Amino acid sequence: MTSTRQLAAIMFTDIVGYTTMMGKDEPKAMEMVRKNREVQKPLIEKHNGSLLKEMGDGNLASFPTASDAIYCAMEIQQALHGDHELNLRIGIHLGEIRTEGGEIYGDGVNVASRLESIADPGGIYISDTVQKAVRSQPDIQTAYLGELTLKNVDYPVKTYAIRGEFLPQPKQTEEKNLSGRLLAELQRRNVIRAELTYLAVAGTVISMLKFVELSQIVEYVIYALLVLGIPLSFYLAWSYERSPEGFVRVTSKKAWINPYSDTQKKPFTGNVIIIILLIIIVGLMAFPKYMSSSIDSVKRNAIANLKRRSIAVLPFDNLSNDPDQLYFSDGIQEDILNHLAKIGDLNVKSRSSTLRYREDRPSIAQIGEEMGVGTILEGSVRKAGNMVRISAQLIDVETDAHIWSETYDRELTEIFAIQSEVAREIARILELKLSSGREKSIFSTGTENITAYDYYLRARELWNNSNYGELNGRIELLQQAILMDPNFAEAYALLSRTLYDSYTLPRGIWLDSALALANKAIASGPEIADGYVVRGIITGNSLGDYNKAGMDFEKAYALEPNNPFVLWQLGSFLLKENEPARGVPMIIQSIELNWSKKDPQYYLQWGDIYRDIGEFHKSRNLYLQAQKLAPDLNAPKEALARLSSLEGDFYGAINSYSSVKNSVNSIDNIAWNYYKAGNLDKAEEFWLRSLEGEQDLQDTTAYFSGRQRLGMVFWKKGEKEKAMKYFNEQIKLNQKDIDQHLISNWGGSLTYTYYDLAITKAYMGDIEGALDIIEHEDISWAGTLLTYYWLDTDPMLDPIRKNPRFMVVADRWRNKAEAAKKVFRQIIRQREAGEELKFVREK
């Protein structure tokens, strides 16, 4: 006689009270058996089970999985719920069974039948083997009943009851039936954990009392409350639990039907973490001296780890015999830097911030301090014919040790592989984790064509040098690069940006081309940020589609989270969208990545931030520091002049602007300050000079955007006819730009076009027309930190300043600016307290 063995989930069912019924009313008992069979058999088959044996009022079934057995049992009990005559007990166990001669044997059968025998009428009991198999099923809830001794089973079985709406609460869980399973119930209700947690908190409070001066009475009260809290915490943890319906008694029907999940907390332990944190905070405030040494140690370690993951890539030395090959070594440096900038966990200083170290290279420690980085990459490039040698060394700033170095002697066509290898090695050395998909994007190259790459490097060198005189040469080089490689995404992006930023062609000619090139850059290299950020600028500033602009900036940021240009554009966009919590840190990160503390631009950017939040004295010190570093640079003089004007020193501002050389904007600003000082004749003189400057603009469609200001001067002087002439000219030019989506004014955005049109209409008396424009989404999107300053002070808005519609817009802009200022102040205060802005605090 053969036998078979298998592992299965065994379900044993039995009719409650069948034997008694059989003695009293045999036909009725047989009807119950028939009904039981009709209910169970289809449900067993539905859940992939097999009915192994029928034993009068009992059925034995097996299932391939424990969850199938439980789902079947639950459906059976649900089907019979409400039938007061037919009640079943069900037991389920996962174990081995043996089939021989049509009979079923084994531990699985025995345990299942014994679990059934102790189950409550209408209930389902399972063993721990079943519980372990289904504990990841969110729709199967169980209650632990303890280790129970079952008849004819020679080991105690950890037993669980299935919980649910149609299932009874086991008598085993009643508090009067705790004999032998008190410990299990304490664990189930998390009482032990709650008490240990409470004692830890109480102990922490008591240990801290010695550092705080309190009266003896207060101390006694605290001790008494802590002692009383022991039984109270025990009672709360024992008696209550959180369910989806709120706090309920553990023994209630609600708790049984709709139990809490494992991730939910008990009423006491749910808040214990908050209590501990509050105690720690109080401790830190109460005895800072006691904690300062350990805090400083942690802080130092954190700063060291952060610095370790920051890098400056210094200009590579050009060791080629031809000094004209400098563009090539610069290009290698910048492309390695661009690879690294795509790694989110690595702070990478921009190329512009490291340029000063080409000629003047101090010690590694000094460079690290000036740049605020923990590692430095330096190297050299030697190009000879079709061969290239690239040497690179990664240096730890703190120890001045070379932590990695390599020399590559390859053919010129392998230059792209070298760049990727260098960046990949740095990521490995600095223990930067990269996903496989992200790694492919980070180390990909825009072209494999070395000739196209050479054209691109030459054009980018002209771009980096801001040589507008070489505009045509730059365009020609990029066109050659694209001709050699029609899928060169970076070349398309740079050509798009070149056209957008140029002032030598009518903007109506290049706008469509710039947008088409940006789209081509994205199509050719969707993993490259340049195309997205350029398209975002074009669609936002020129076309007024700010939703699309925002999506492009976000995509560029996802690809290159350390690109200073991307950070600046997205950060500025978020400020305008009233999201300063995200935007402000990006703007600050852009400044810190883009400039070193030896660059005047670093101090100019921080000076602008301090100016915009109203801290003029600190702003002036920063502008003076920038001027000290670059006495001949116009930007610090213009910044100081703007600051004097904001402070009401109009003639001081005029003197500063007068020292600025070759600046059309300075003429306009001088006119403004003469106007604010009440000198209308001088204001007229300088605004007329600005108007005459249109003749020198190479872009024949560009125009002086201050005709309305001249009209304002003539109106105040009583020359109404002249005033109307300039007002009408300004309206005509603005309307043309809006209709054609052109940026012909000097502001660089259609937002300023709308603003000029609105203030002109307001001053002319077209109140409704002005308010309609002021409420336009393009106007409200401006939202810079100084926007509300103009709303409060621009004299051309005086006719509508107290209009309710205008006041709503002004409040919205003001609130937006104030929200941004608040975030700036929070970050600045933190950095002034640390090392980053220590120089500002000291001044």
Cβ of 91: how many Cβ atoms within 10 Å?
A: 27
Q: Please name the residues in contact with 56: beta carbons below 8 A apart, sequence gap of 6 or more.
A: 18, 33
For residue 483, what pLDDT is reported?
94
Q: Highest mean pLDDT range out of 7-16, 136-145, 308-317, 701-710?
A: 7-16
Q: Is the pLDDT of residue 306 over 70?
A: no
Could you tell me the pLDDT band of residue 482, with boundaries at 50, 70 and 90?
Answer: very high
The amino acid at residue 838 is K
User: Mean pLDDT lowest for which of 521-530, 548-557, 773-782?
Assistant: 773-782
Residue range(s) of every CATH 3.30.70.1230 domain in the chain: 3-172
- The per-residue pLDDT for range 7-51, each reduced to its tens digit, is 889 999 999 888 888 888 888 888 888 999 999 999 999 999 999
Residue range(s) of every CATH 3.40.50.10610 domain in the chain: 306-445
Alpha helices in 677-776 (DSSP H): 680-692, 707-716, 720-740, 750-764, 767-774
In DSSP terms, which residues pair with 408 in a beta bridge?
Answer: 390
For residue 18, what pLDDT is reported?
86
CA 70 to mean position of chain CA atoms: 43
For residue 177, what pLDDT is reported?
52
Closest of 53, 72, 55, 54 to residue 63, by C-alpha: 72
Q: Is 201 left (phi over 0), alpha (psi -120 to 50) or beta?
A: alpha
Q: Is the pLDDT of residue 351 over 60?
A: yes
Q: Is the pLDDT of residue 466 over 60?
A: yes
Q: Which residue has the higher pLDDT, 20 or 748?
A: 20
Closest of 157, 137, 185, 178 to residue 91, by C-alpha: 157
For residue 331, what pLDDT is reported?
85
- The per-residue pLDDT for range 594-651, each reduced to its tens digit, is 888 888 999 999 999 999 888 899 999 999 999 998 888 888 999 999 999 999 999 9
For residue 645, what pLDDT is reported?
92
Measure the CA angle with vertex 612, ends 610 and 615; round to 5°: 45
Percentage, residues of the chain above pLDDT 70 = 79
Residues 473-560, CATH architecture? Alpha Horseshoe (1.25)
For residue 795, what pLDDT is reported?
92
DSSP per-residue string spanning 243-295: ETTEEEETTSHHHHHSPPPTTS--TTGGGHHHHHHHHHHHHHHH-HHHHHHHH
491, HSE (Cβ side, Cα atoms, 13 Å):
30
Rounded distance between C-alpha atoms, residue 692 and residue 365, angstroms: 53
- The per-residue pLDDT for range 65-116, each reduced to its tens digit, is 999 999 999 999 998 887 778 889 999 999 888 887 667 888 888 899 999 9
The per-type count for the chain, helices as H runs and strands as E runs, is 38, 16
Q: Please name the residues in contact with 292: beta carbons below 8 A apart, sequence gap of 6 or more.
A: none
For residue 621, what pLDDT is reported?
92
Alpha helices in 89-144 (DSSP H): 107-118, 128-134
Residues 3-172, CATH architecture? 2-Layer Sandwich (3.30)
Q: 229 burial class (0-12, 13-18, 19+ CB within 10 angstroms)?
A: middle
Could you tell me the pLDDT band of residue 670, with boundaries at 50, 70 and 90?
Answer: very high
- The per-residue pLDDT for range 130-164, each reduced to its tens digit, is 999 998 888 888 888 878 888 888 888 888 999 88
- The per-residue pLDDT for range 353-405, each reduced to its tens digit, is 888 888 788 888 888 888 888 899 998 899 888 888 989 898 988 888 888 88
The amino acid at residue 172 is Q
Could you tell me the pLDDT band of residue 297, with boundaries at 50, 70 and 90?
Answer: very low
Alpha helices in 465-598 (DSSP H): 471-484, 489-501, 507-524, 529-537, 546-559, 564-576, 580-594
Q: Is the pLDDT of residue 301 over 50?
A: no
Q: Is the pLDDT of residue 258 over 50?
A: yes
Q: Is the pLDDT of residue 777 over 90?
A: no
Residue range(s) of every CATH 1.25.40.10 domain in the chain: 473-560
Q: Please name the residues in contact with 124: beta carbons below 8 A apart, sequence gap of 6 or more.
A: 70, 73, 74, 77, 90, 91, 92, 161, 162, 167
Q: Is the pLDDT of residue 172 over 80?
A: no
What does DSSP say about strands 310-313 and 375-384: parallel, antiparallel, or unpaired? parallel
What does DSSP say about strands 88-100 and 3-15: parallel, antiparallel, or unpaired? antiparallel
448, HSE (Cβ side, Cα atoms, 13 Å):
2
For residue 311, the SS3 value is strand
Helix (H) or strand (E) holding 368: helix 364-371
Closest of 194, 172, 271, 174 to residue 238, by C-alpha: 194
The amino acid at residue 537 is I
**Number of residues that make up the chain:** 843
Q: Which residue has the higher pLDDT, 764 or 435?
A: 764
Closest of 695, 696, 634, 698 to residue 666, by C-alpha: 634
Q: Which residue has the higher pLDDT, 288 or 224?
A: 224
Mean predicted confidence (pLDDT) in 677-692: 90
| CATH number given to 306-445 | 3.40.50.10610
Residue 97 per-residue DSSP state: E
Mean pLDDT (the chain) is: 80
Mean predicted confidence (pLDDT) in 710-716: 94
Q: Is the pLDDT of residue 242 over 70?
A: no
Give CA separation, 547 vs 73, 350, 539, 717, 820, in Å: 55, 28, 9, 44, 20
Q: 237 burial class (0-12, 13-18, 19+ CB within 10 angstroms)?
A: buried
